[in-house]
Structure formats: structure tokens, C-alpha cells
Amino acid sequence: MSAHPRLTLLIANKNYSTWSLRAWFALHSAGIRFEERRLPLFTEQWRREIGSLSPSRLAPVLTVEREGAEPFQVWDSLAICEWAAETFPDRRLWPADPDRRAVARSVSAEMHSGFGALRRALPMNCRAHGRRVEIDDLVTHDVDRLVALWSTCRERAVGGPWLFGELSIADAMFVPVASRFATYGVEIEGAAGEYAAALLAHPSYHEWRRAAQAESEVVEEDEAGLVAV
């Protein structure tokens, strides 16, 4: 393998940005070295700099620099994770078995594109505890689907407490969901509840949460439950 590229991951606030957490967790938990650059959401700095830092004007964005080559950017959490899996195959970011890998990609893509009601109703806030919001039928449907998905994967998993045994990109996709459930007191039982607890106990999430609690920025709209990032 060629020399380790220099990686810089642009993220938004750790307290609020679910998509930043997904990419960060995948890289960090796999032991892939990267520099972190944080750009707080909805600030003057964000408005001034995001256009020059991110092609999509969103976070996260991974900048890759190799000696003798033009730097390039990878944006969108799932694309960043896929790039990392291809670049660092020894870190086993996807299951080795092709059938299980296909299922892991499916559940990751479902999280990437779905669960809109849950995202809107339960915005991530790592600093908050004991929040209560009204859970309507659409949110209940999303929660039930997540519990079923986690339970099914865990019933078939071998070799570890994660969805496919060993920690993978699929697990990174669901860390923010476990965080949201903890914030809003969404109680789940059985294999799904044990899985959520394992995500929240992971050292990488602990490091992220400590940093989130130390942040000073407050998004005022979050108090009204209007931020879903």
C-alpha cells in the first residue's frame, strides 16, 4: 500500500451534526489518522467559509492529499466511508463475506435516505437529556423499523456486539440514532436495546460526546425542535 495520505475531515458542530458524526466515527473507530477541522453551523464563519471548503456547501467533507498528486475532496458521509473502505481494506470497514456486505450496504443506504420523520422530530443534541416530544405515527413507524432492522441483524451476527459481528460502516450510520434515543428517552428493549447501548458505550462516541459537551455554540432553533442535521 502507498504511504498514508494526509486526511482532513471538515465537520460541523459535534453537538448537532449527525452526518459529521457518521463519517468521523467510521474513521476514528477504525484507527485511520486524520486531522479534524470544525466549522460551527449557522454562524458567520460558516456562511463565510463553507462555500470554499465544501462543493455541496454541507459537512462533512474529506480532503485527501498525497505526495506528488493533486488534492481532492470526498463529500457526503457514505461516500467518505466507502472511500475509506477501499483505501484501507485492512481496517475491514465492511463485512468480508459478500452476501453480508450487501446487506450491510443496504441498511446503511436505508439510513442514509430514510427515517425523515424521526430526524425532524428528534434532532440530535448530545448535551441535552430528558427531552420529551410528541411521538406521532410517522415517528413511531421509523422507530419500529429501526428496532426491527437492528434486531434482525443482531440475531444473525456472529463474532461481536455489532450489526454484522465486527464493527462496520453500518454501525457508524446508526450511532446518531442511538444518541437521539438517549436524548429523548426513547426506550427500546431486547437485542435492539443492547445494540444501542453498545454504540453509546463505544470509546469513539465517548470522545465525540465529551467534545460536544465542551462546545459553546447554541443553535436557537434547536429549542423548538427545528434543527435536523
Burial label, 68 (beta-carbon count in 10 A; 0-12, 13-18, 19+) = exposed
Q: What is the mean pLDDT of the chain?
A: 93
Assess contact for 9 and 207: CB atoms under 8 A: no
pLDDT value, residue 132: 85
pLDDT at 219 over 80: no
Mean pLDDT of the 59-69 span: 96
Q: 37-40: long-range contacts at Cβ-Cβ below 8 A with a sequence spacing of 24 or more?
A: 37/8, 37/9, 37/10, 37/11, 38/10, 38/11, 38/12, 38/13, 38/14, 39/10, 39/11, 39/12, 40/12, 40/13, 40/215, 40/217
Q: For residue range 17-57, what is the model confidence (pLDDT) as tens digits?
A: 999 999 999 999 999 999 999 999 988 999 999 999 999 99
Assess contact for 104 and 78: CB atoms under 8 A: no
pLDDT value, residue 3: 76
Q: For residue range 190-211, what is the model confidence (pLDDT) as tens digits?
A: 999 999 999 999 999 999 999 9
Q: What angle do CA 139, 127, 114 make, to 5 degrees?
A: 30
pLDDT at 2 over 60: no
Distances (CA, A) of 137 to 76, 123, 142, 144, 193: 29, 17, 9, 10, 21
> What ranges do the domains of the chain cover?
6-91, 98-211
Considering the domain 98-211, what is its CATH architecture? Answer: Up-down Bundle (1.20)
Q: What is the CATH number of domain 6-91?
A: 3.40.30.10
pLDDT at 69 over 50: yes
Are domains 6-91 and 98-211 of this chain identical in fold? Answer: no
pLDDT band at 228 (very low <50, low <70, confident <90, very high): very low
